[in-house]
Amino acid sequence: MDSARPGHHPDNEPPREEVPDAVSPDPVRPDSRRLRRRGQGELEAQVLAVLHSANGPATAGWVQEHLDGDLAYTTVITILSRLYAKNAVTRSREGRSYTWTSASDEAGLAALRMRRVLDGERDRDAVLARFISALSPGDEERLRALLARAAAPDDPDNPLGMEGR
């Protein structure tokens, strides 16, 4: 905490969660706990979960009210804007503000996250090979069946088609 910085006040700090610090406990106060910041991905996941629970478009204020914890309105706007830039949410102008909607269901958002991870790696073959080798036999069988269905895009009963290619 640096109270010498102009405009800095401890109440302006982002919320922190108390988590035990099993790696390096405080030798002076053995019962102490360190506080950690919630990661950007964790906050984005929480905001997306709240949007999924909405019955239609939601305002940033509504999202803020339904989040666990005390996030500032500006923090919620920042998170929503980042999600919009990642195509994870859509927005519509309502007067002077926006309403926000999740761009996909939870499975679609998980697929988007998986694709981003894959796109961020140099050796896609190695990443995919490791992913497949870590699957349970049942999941590997499901993946093979889905890939076979995706290879037949003209099948009218195929919900996969060539989506995302």
Contact 51, 63 (CB under 8 A): yes
pLDDT of residue 60: 96
Q: Where are the domains of the chain?
A: 40-102, 121-150
Cα separation, 90 vs 58, whole angstroms: 11
For the domain covering 40-102, report its CATH number: 1.10.10.10
pLDDT of residue 21: 42
pLDDT of residue 18: 46
DSSP code, position 18: E
Cα separation, 59 vs 91, whole angstroms: 9
pLDDT of residue 40: 61
Q: First CA to last CA across the chain, in angstroms?
A: 49
Residues of the chain where predicted confidence (pLDDT) is lower than 50: 1-5, 7-10, 12-27, 29-36, 162, 164-165
